[in-house]
Structure 1
Amino acid sequence: MPNRLISSKSPYLQKSAYQPVDWYEWSEEAFQRAREEDKPILLSIGGVWCHWCHVMAHESFEDPEIARIINENFIPIKVDRDERPDVDRRYQEVVIALTNSGGWPLTVFLTPEGKAFFGGTYFPPNDRWGRPGFKSLLLRIAQLWKEDRQRVLRSAESIYESLINYSRQSFKDPVEEDLLQQGISTLLASIDYQWGGIGAAPKFHHAKAFELLIHHHHFAPSPLLQRAIMSSLDAMAKGGVYDHLLGGFFRYSTDEKWHIPHFEKMLYDNAELLSLYSIAYKVFGRDLYRKTAEGIVNYYRLYGYDPEGGFYASQDADIGVLDEGGYYTFTRKEIESLLSPEELRVFSLHFGLADMPHEPEKKVLYINIEEEEVARVTGAELEEVKRLLGSAKAKLLQHRQKREMPYIDKTVYTNWNALMICALCEYWKVFSDSWALDTARRSAQRILEEYYKEGALLHKEGVEGFSEDYIFLAGALLSLFELTQEKRYLELSGEIMRKALELFWDEEGWGFYDTAKTGNGLLNIRLKNLQDTPTQSVNGYAPYVLLLLGTLTGDGRFIDYAEKTLQAFSRFVREVPMVSHSYLISLYSYLKGIYKVETRDYFEQALKLFRPFKFVLRSEVEGLIICEGQTCQRFDSLNEILTKAH
């Protein structure tokens, strides 16, 4: 018999509907039952794409004995972190504070009022790897609740008070040039100049960090900056973290060399990376970046887009029962049997094969040497090398497509779709791909028609919008306005931003709260997110959108709010410079000013010209009028701009 999750609209929760655990969704009903039965709550948060969530589900939540212990001693609540990032964010803060690490699955024990007193991430079913087993943990916590409750309640209250105090801290300070320079210097010191990327394994893409460095390279070019950018973008694009047969990036790399990924494909990662590689190709002209950007678009064109508009949320890492990466990997024998001797020769030079740690016979493809080097080594013509590699990849892809495909979550989330709309507009500026602009417009139209009604925006069907839904969409509509010059996009962007200010703005401390309302458990604590995880943060990105709106509409109140948002987090960024590169991009745009270009005759050329913080308006003027901040100049031709000093 299915449990009550069978009626959920979340694909992740539906996958738990046949577990023997008596799951609830996050709801008043669950908290009411916990209070009535005087039981603690077991909160489990994860995602439909999450490999270790599947592992814990299979090992523990499908186990009848563990399910019996849960049902007898706890009120179990299951949450989809994509659907409810507000719930996830608060309990992640608790687990990070308790264990110094977070992630998914997130496993938290709460009082009936929703106050956390213990938590972690993945727990094996039995004691192993130096970690407590989930079964023994459940029994121990049930015992503590019955025999030493005051100790549990004191712990819960202490954690709750700490989170309250954290949420009430003020980080207001003026913003100066040195704050930006400190952030850039700290970032450059964090680059792995040997293998690319930021820090040590596991390595995430940090697209906004490299976008910041490209902006800085425009104003202050240097060999160090170029090396930091290109070594990292090369490593990610060549690594196993990129799908070399179909296109698109996986979620992160488990090793320092970018060879072995976790194989989830997330819309938000690929949106931010599409923007990054499009800009990087425009700036550096590296063909690898063109192929990478086109590969992302190819993946979404084939598998990640709803013909009625909207981009799908994610693709799972696993196929079958916990076979992570099985869809994407090949054995040497498979490769040798599928390719001709000529194809195999160039393929084996171009690609390296990285061993999957748990199944070393399965190999992950990564680029070992580029096509030009293969041609030099073999003495073959470059075009022949490209032809052979193309046919080899087509054969492997055709073979791969005979396998069971990992599950695609077709949920359309407003915030992530807004990121992809912005990315496709950036991609169009570089590659003039009509599909990109058409699908960006169609996706925006679907969200506006289905999710935006009577001034209220939804995160997804049935879930009220968060501040990032409003502000990311406002930014996406400005991107569409620039390309189409349709005033309705500008008007809607301003309307949605004004609604965001009404719902989420903190009048006392400044900045945007993540939610408009309070609720059960830790949802009665209002938080303002700045950290760029898993996407750019709402308070990092909002100042840039506000600056654009103020510049384009002439409404100085938008610029006032941009300044206040930057000031609201200034001291926090000074203390933790790596917290938000989207904030540093907004700060850069504030210090430099929006670069507004008005032109009639050079409109498309001006769109395609790279310049940080540029916005182009079609206007009935001779030549071009360019305004930087409060200073405007007239130019007769685009060549004058190209030769003008930075």
Structure 2
Amino acid sequence: MQGSTVTDIKTNKLIDEKSPYLLQHAYNPVNWYPWNEEAFEKAKIENKPIFLSIGYSTCHWCHVMAHESFEDDEVAKLMNEAFVSIKVDREERPDIDNIYMTVCQMLTGSGGWPLTIIMTPDKKPFFAGTYIPKTSKYGRIGMRELTNKTKELWSEDKDRIFDSAEHISERIKEAAKNSPGDLLSEEVVELCFKQLSNSYDNKNGGFGNSPKFPTPHNLLFLMNYYRINKDQKALDMVIKTLDSMSMGGIYDHIGYGFHRYSTDEKWLLPHFEKMLYDQAMLTLAYADCYNITKNDYYKEIAEGILGYCNRVLLSKEGAFYSAEDADSEGEEGKFYVWSIKELRDILDDQELELLSRVYNLKENGNFKDEATRRFTGYNILHLKEKLSELSHDKYDDNLNNTLDKIRDTLFKKREQRVHPHMDDKILTDWNGLIIAALSKAAAIFNREDFTKVASKCADFFINSIEDNGSLFHRYCKGQWNILGNIDDYSFMIFGLIELYEATFNDRYLKKAIDLMNEQIKNFWDDEGGFYFTSSNEEEVLTRMKEIYDGAIPSGNSITFLNLLRLSRITGNTEYEEYCEKLQKAFSNIIKESPIAYTQMVSGILLSLSKSEEIVVVGDISSDEFKNYVSSIRSVCSPASVLVAKNTNESHPLIHEIADYTRYQDKVDDKTTIYICRNFTCNEPVTSLSEAIRMIGK
């Protein structure tokens, strides 16, 4: 484009959007529209089908398809003639993504991103696929052929297309209905444990074969199962998996944090993008494992993850950005890998030899190109044994200090590289998860700095609710947009409950209850379960109810746990009634394959277990109070709840939230513990050792 200026470059309708993903496509020759009525009206007037492309800004194959087709003038010309084309950021509009991903899975048996849908102007789909190459190959139809074929069929056989679209839409509406069943029992918990045991990889940790996703809620279920049933096998699976992931290439040994998933079964070669939700859920898993084992290794990994989040993903507003891309300079993983030649220019011979031995680096590279199956010449740092377990016969006692120095050198060098693209939109649901993770880590590790970060993040969203009158899904470039979905509500409530238990600031608990009541009002289906979208939101084909616990748990699964905890904290039995209706709504589908719903089954496990409401009364700022709480946390059941009453306040808000606390006061002016179980309360105790003895008995 010699001689042109920025103002000469033609843009499409995406140029006014906020989403980083949509803006990536604003200069495509394809005449993209955002999802809005203007696009659908244009399709009706011009009598054209809709080409819907759904992806996200850090998606590698989304970039590939864009470079091959959407930036190609020839393909764009064909698309502009045949379609009205719409781009959707799946992270901005998960409601649209959920509907059409269901279509894709129904029609093709699989799904993924980029998600490609062709549909009628009234949003009814008749074609679904994922990545489509420019020309037909890999057994996939190409964009040129698909566009020409669709244009031909639309012109010559439109009635058949509309019949097909109508049939598919009816199938989707039918699939969205759920058939309520009975309450779930211990039988489904045991089946879930059995299915996880059967799919467990004894050699490498994790579940199933490649590609391997971290799926932390599997591990959280197993840790709850271990603590309640004392089955060592459950904990062994967790430990092996957490160890293998943190030693593998899926973990960033230089800058910390986890990549999205491993393309192989050994956790070596990752898909390099880093997602906020993975960091949050994995922090919860590592922190929980530390709480059980008291092994500092898991604390170090959890703190490393949060260190990455605070350093890289934290915005000036105090909330967290969504993700870092897998690609930089047009190549996946380029930011993270090292050649021996480059390392020779950075390190001395002794340092390079030590790094190569410890982190398994090879002259020709230590991983193969997936397409050619040849070594790439590049290395991914990974361990075959923990640093603490390396033989002292092979390494001197100063090993850790030397490695710290080398990693610091590499980190500073890596910072000079072109960084992966940052998706700087702020999503409410994922921030709810990181608030929960920061709060849990703060409580377990006694890290007040984590509490401060979590509180500032939570305050950002609480203030937005007060300003906007409702919870919104996305904040980007100074603007809130898109009404909150069930994940936004459930994950934020989850985060606020965890933040309350970390700080005992009643305001966070009160806001969690307010949001829970609003969620019930706007999302509850009288036949059972919560819709993904609010009753105030646009309906796309039909309102869906999500229960599958995939890369992250479903909103319904997290809501079940929220309701259970709030009922026990507040004494409000209505929340427990919603719990019963919620599990009945999905019980038939969960019983078929509980391994697909481990977060929900984890909630069922806790609901069936003995619980205790533990109220600590005293000066919450005192060292004695903090010591009592810390000790209680380390021994109480995951099914229990911890409540505090601050005697420094003349009119504690907790009285309004949990009326039973009005009558619980200090005894002999000492920090006092009240332990209640099975609707019965024991005599209050002031002795910590006595309280520890009573808990769980």
**Aligned-pair CA distance for 1:503:** 0.4
**What is the match of residue 265 of structure 1?**
274
**What is the match of residue 529 of structure 2?**
511
> Does the alignment pair 1:437 with 2:451?
yes
> Does the alignment pair 1:475 with 2:494?
yes
- Pair 1:270–1:430, CA change in 2 (3 A): same
Q: Structure 1, residues 407-437: CA drift from partner, whole Å, max 9, x if none?
A: 1112111111011001111101222222210
> Does the alignment pair 1:343 with 2:351?
yes
Of 470-479 and 21-30, more deviation after overlay is shown by 470-479
Please state whether the residue corresponding to 1:42 is helix, strand or coil.
Answer: strand
Contact 2:95 2:532 in 1 (8 A): yes
Provide the aligned C-alpha RMSD in A.
1.9
> Does the alignment pair 1:618 with 2:668?
no
**Structure 2 Cα separation of the partners of residues 413 and 199 of structure 1:** 30
- Pair 1:25–1:629, CA change in 2 (3 A): farther
Q: Please give the residue correspondences for 1:393-412 in structure 2 after superposition, counting only pairs within 5 Å.
A: 393-412=407-426
- Pair 1:188–1:410, CA change in 2 (3 A): same
Which of 635, 639, 645 does residue 689 from structure 2 map onto?
A: 639
Contact 2:616 2:673 in 1 (8 A): yes
Of 23-32 and 174-183, more deviation after overlay is shown by 174-183
**Structure 2 Cα separation of the partners of residues 536 and 41 of structure 1:** 31
Q: Please give the residue correspondences for 1:91-490 in structure 2 after superposition, counting only pairs within 5 Å.
A: 91-321=100-330, 323-353=331-361, 354-357=366-369, 360-381=376-397, 384-453=398-467, 455-460=469-474, 461-490=480-509
- Pair 1:334–1:56, CA change in 2 (3 A): same
Paired amino acid for 2:643: L
- Pair 1:625–1:462, CA change in 2 (3 A): same
Q: Structure 1, residues 29-68: CA drift from partner, whole Å, max 9, x if none?
A: 1111111111111000000010110110011000000000
Of 198-207 and 628-637, more deviation after overlay is shown by 628-637
Contact 1:211 1:276 in 2 (8 A): yes
Unaligned residue ranges in structure 2 (runs of 5+): 1-9, 475-479, 618-624, 646-664
**Structure 1 Cα separation of the partners of residues 611 and 29 of structure 2:** 57
Contact 1:518 1:525 in 2 (8 A): no
Paired amino acid for 1:196: G
Q: Percent identity?
A: 35
Contact 1:283 1:610 in 2 (8 A): no
Q: Structure 1, residues 197-248: CA drift from partner, whole Å, max 9, x if none?
A: 1111111111011011011111222332222111111111111111110110
**Structure 1 Cα separation of the partners of residues 687 and 54 of structure 2:** 56
Paired amino acid for 2:567: G
- Pair 1:455–1:86, CA change in 2 (3 A): same
Which of 54, 78, 90 does residue 63 from structure 2 map onto?
A: 54
**What is the match of residue 599 of structure 1?**
616
Contact 1:346 1:385 in 2 (8 A): no
Structure index of larger Rg:
2
Q: Please give the residue correspondences for 1:20-99 in structure 2 after superposition, counting only pairs within 5 Å.
A: 20-99=29-108
**Aligned-pair CA distance for 1:332:** 1.9
Q: Please give the residue correspondences for 1:554-633 in structure 2 after superposition, counting only pairs within 5 Å.
A: 554-600=571-617, 601=625, 602-609=628-635, 611-619=637-645, 620-622=665-667, 623-633=672-682
Please state whether the residue corresponding to 2:31 is helix, strand or coil.
Answer: coil
The TM-score with structure 2 as length reference comes to 0.89
**Aligned-pair CA distance for 1:352:** 2.2
Unaligned residue ranges in structure 1 (runs of 5+): none
**Structure 2 Cα separation of the partners of residues 90 and 28 of structure 1:** 18
Contact 2:35 2:88 in 1 (8 A): yes
Paired amino acid for 1:456: S
Q: Structure 1, residues 528-549: CA drift from partner, whole Å, max 9, x if none?
A: 1001123111111111111221
- Pair 1:341–1:641, CA change in 2 (3 A): farther
Paired amino acid for 1:436: F
Paired amino acid for 2:487: E
**Aligned-pair CA distance for 1:400:** 1.1
**What is the match of residue 511 of structure 2?**
492
**Structure 1 Cα separation of the partners of residues 328 and 436 of structure 2:** 31
- Pair 1:395–1:356, CA change in 2 (3 A): farther
The TM-score with structure 1 as length reference comes to 0.96
Paired amino acid for 1:191: Y
**What is the match of residue 662 of structure 2?**
none
**Structure 1 Cα separation of the partners of residues 545 and 388 of structure 2:** 49
Please state whether the residue corresponding to 1:580 is helix, strand or coil.
Answer: helix
**Structure 2 Cα separation of the partners of residues 594 and 66 of structure 1:** 61
Paired amino acid for 1:393: R
**What is the match of residue 550 of structure 1?**
567
**Structure 2 Cα separation of the partners of residues 593 and 469 of structure 1:** 30
Paired amino acid for 1:345: E
**Aligned-pair CA distance for 1:110:** 0.5
**Structure 2 Cα separation of the partners of residues 444 and 579 of structure 1:** 30
**Structure 2 Cα separation of the partners of residues 5 and 451 of structure 1:** 27
**Aligned-pair CA distance for 1:317:** 0.7
**Structure 2 Cα separation of the partners of residues 367 and 379 of structure 1:** 15
**Aligned-pair CA distance for 1:594:** 4.1
**Aligned-pair CA distance for 1:135:** 1.1
